[in-house]
Amino acid sequence: MIARLLTVLMLALWLPAGSLWAKTTIKLGVVTKPGSAQNICAEKFKDLLESRSQGDYEVTIFHSASLGTETEILEQIQLNSVQMGIITDGPFDVFLPEARVISYPFLFPDARAADKVLDGPEGQELLQHLEKVGMKGLAFSENGFRNLTNSKRPVHTVADVAGLKIRVMESQFHKELWRLLGANPTPMGWPIYTELQQGTIDAQENPLSVIWTYKLFEVQKYLSLTGHVYSSHIDVANLKWFQSLPESGQKLLQQCMVDAAREQRAWNRTNEANFLANLKEAGMVVEEHPDLQSFRDKVSRIQDTDVFKGKETQELLQKFLRAARE
């Protein structure tokens, strides 16, 4: 009798705890530090999901390379030891060659064109492809147009790039791009301040927000507004984990990420002029109008090289090229 009473009592005590345990916890990885583009999106996503789900979901953001490089975060997402990530498009290409179509050189004339293609059927097709590598593609947030910095000399034409030891993302495509431009590229994970400071590398390329937030002006004197590629983040989840959520949860999570990404893109664009002004004030020598035609000429045949030779990559590239020109 007493034993039965005790069981009933224990069950009664368990129930509220049981409903608390039903909370879904999510580990979300970004390589960058607070204040960075990825973090703005991650924090917005966390706010939206936790408030709209009234606490059914809890998001913990792992940032500042605490989970390793972006390549390493992607590996952890595939293993589901991390459920979600906001990751620069570059490092995806080792997992999914199709991802390199976003950063085809000089593809998008401006951010609006990028939004049109990435939010349209072509971008959605790319997100679908991620399922082949165990990831659910939720949305595109923005890193931004990438610009070249270096410690050696002003870069006006592509000839000035010759021989620069440049760090590129862990991406076969970016390595090939800078090889074609005449530099000496080395793939490395983020961050790279120490390597720039010690002179292991002379140059790097990133959007203005990153150059500012990571104080690269302290170790890079010259900035050229090359805007050679548009760089997005692909906001992803582990596919099996995502599919294990109730349908309402899947919809909510996706909508929160789409909304967070939209706000984050707006943040990035609103601040771009300030980032440039800050970098000038910090003493960078800025080439605002480099001879971009000389860059275009060097990479005009890149779509015939090995990095775009896969059938599906080539097909998606043709769709992106068409859509971007419409």
Among 45, 140, 190, 222, binds ligand EAX (CB under 6 A): 190
Q: How far is the CB of 32 from ligand EAX (least distance, A)?
A: 5
CB of 100 closer than 8 Å to CB of 120: no
Answer yes or no whether residue 275 interacts with ligand EAX by CB under 6 A: no
* Shortest distance, position 135 Cβ to ligand EAX, whole Å: 18
Q: How far apart are CA 39 and CA 142, in angstroms?
A: 11
Q: Where do we find the tokens 């999106």?
A: 41
* Residue 86 neighbours by CB under 8 Å, 6+ apart: 28, 29, 30, 38, 41, 42, 45, 141, 233, 235
Residues within window 107-166 making contact with ligand EAX, judged by CB under 6 A: 143
Nearer to ligand EAX, 161 or 169 (CB): 169
Report how far apart, in Å, the C-alpha atoms of 131 and of each of 82, 136, 243 are. Answer: 16, 6, 11
Q: Of 191, 254, 285, which is closest to residue 45 (Cα–Cα)?
A: 254
Footprint (CB under 6 A) of ligand EAX, residues 33-52: none
Q: Which of 147, 150, 171, 206 touches ligand EAX by CB under 6 A?
A: 206
Minimum CB separation of residue 143 from ligand EAX in Å reads 5
Residue 169 makes contact with ligand EAX by CB under 6 A = yes
Instruction: Name which of 155 and 252 has its Cβ closer to ligand EAX.
Output: 155
Q: Is 208 an interacting residue with respect to ligand EAX (CB under 6 A)? A: no
Q: What is the CA radius of gyration of the chain?
A: 22
By CB under 6 A, the count of residues binding ligand EAX is 8
C-alpha span between 121 and 30 (Å, rounded): 27
Q: Residue 31 interacts with ligand EAX (CB under 6 A)? A: yes
Residue 32 interacting with ligand EAX (CB under 6 A) = yes
| DSSP strand pairing (57-62 vs 24-29) | parallel
103 is a contact residue toward ligand EAX (CB under 6 A):
no
Minimum CB–partner distance for residue 277 and ligand EAX (Å): 20
Provide the minimum distance between the beta carbon of 166 and ligand EAX in the complex, in angstroms, as a whole number.
Answer: 11
Q: Does 210 bind ligand EAX (CB under 6 A)?
A: yes
Do the beta carbons of residue 213 and residue 33 sit within 8 Å? yes
Task: State how far the alpha carbon of 46 is from the alpha carbons of 28, 67, 241, 284, in Å.
Answer: 9, 18, 18, 35
Q: Which residues bind ligand EAX (CB under 6 A)?
A: 31-32, 88, 143, 169, 190, 206, 210
